[in-house]
Amino acid sequence: MGIYVIKMPDIGEGVAEAELVEWSVKLGDPVREDEIVAAVMTDKATVEIPTPVNGTVTWLACDVGDQIAVGSELMHLDVEGEGNRSGASAAPPGRKPGDKRVSPSRPTGPQRAAAPQEDIRAPAPTPRIGDRPRAGLPSRDAYGRPIASPAVRKRARDAGIDLRRIAGSGPAGRITHADLDDYTASLEPEGTASFYTPVEGAEDIKVSGLRRRIAERMDAANRHIPHITIVEEVDVTELEGLRQRLNGEHAESRGKLTVLPFIMRAIVRAVSEQPAFNAHFLDEDNIIRRFDAVHVGIATQTPNGLMVPVVRNAEAMGLWDAAREIGRLAEASRGGSATRDELSGSTISITSLGPLGALATTPIINRPEVAIVGINKIATRPLWLDGEFKPRQVMNISCSFDHRVIDGWDAAVFVQKLKALLEAPAAMCGEG
């Protein structure tokens, strides 16, 4: 038997370290050649790391959420033959294969005590009246949540049930509807005990992976960019009528249109007259870089958090081309298959909460861009037209700008241009 050391690979673009976001294996697991053993995240993408050999896992370098440098040891495998490391022990000084995981970037020896790490997770929740003994805590996913389907999560949330109290009977500890039924039955009040009982305890959840990247980017945008936000009311009655007619005539052959392709066409037209809005402010170099091509970022909610896939060269797309590309990128982002190039390079962004949209929002700019267009929900409201109130389809748009680059007057002109284009969609689109 020999020891095979897998090191953190060079994943390009000058990246010196990455964050470990998932282990696909644990100590003692057998692995086969080309099997994915870990996933790491850079500023732009998540990269899966395979094993080049067959073997058994004997040592893992760090915990999920830790940073690991390119070229440092990631994991050790027991393999048939000599492996790629000589010596009786493959673990770092003072450690043996199979020891508790530890990040190699943390000091060892005289600089750090050799005592085992403390378990900093919150204590298990205090059992409530009626709780019955369980076989153990439920398994957790890469983000520390109990493993369960969306339907089970919704049912538990509606019933006020904490899934952390339930040990799942499904594959990999997944919590099923039957587990919820059993747990609910175990909570039947006995005697005078009330079903509604107070609970104690808290859970510490480490901010890691995509959530940490989102937090860092939002913090940087908020700290560096003085935002100015303008909210304007737009009468989209004509736009909704046109959209419905186009869908009625072409949905089967071309697919359905949402509001987003119309918003994208309006942005393309508006920035052609005001190119300062289709730009990056490289504040460290004190440079404003204006772009000829319009690459529109579409803020997209995924199971793991917010992503911004990019529709490239929106100026060259018609409504249905834009709709298909938006749909393709959204599906790739939610399925975790979006590439690094598809998630970077936007020059201006759109954000929308869809059917959950509010009356108004204050979007945060996707740095280093200088503008973002926020779409709010469409509602029927009375508008004063031709001497009387009439029911109209109305939508507010909330647009934020980098006030270091965009003056308030220019921002107002841009918003009014968007309003005018959206209220006269047929002339804007030129498609029938």
List active site positions: 403, 407
**Do residues 399 and 306 touch, judged by C-beta distance below 8 A?**
no
Buried b (16+ CB within 10 A) or exposed e, 49-75: bebebebbbbbbbbebbbebebeebbb
**Do residues 92 and 76 touch, judged by C-beta distance below 8 A?**
no
**Do residues 86 and 64 touch, judged by C-beta distance below 8 A?**
no
C-alpha gyration radius of the chain:
27
Question: Residue 68: which H helix or E strand, with range?
Answer: strand 67-69
Q: Which of 170, 92, 174, 167 is nearest to 124 (CA)?
A: 167
What is the Cα–Cα distance from 336 to 209, expressed in whole angstroms? 13
Question: Residue 270: which H helix or E strand, with range?
Answer: helix 260-273
Sorted by sequence, the CB contacts under 8 Å of residue 69 that are 6+ apart come out as 8, 16, 17, 104, 105
Q: How many CA atoms lie within 13 A of 57 on its CB side?
A: 23
Q: Which of 304, 301, 392, 313 is nearest to 351 (CA)?
A: 301
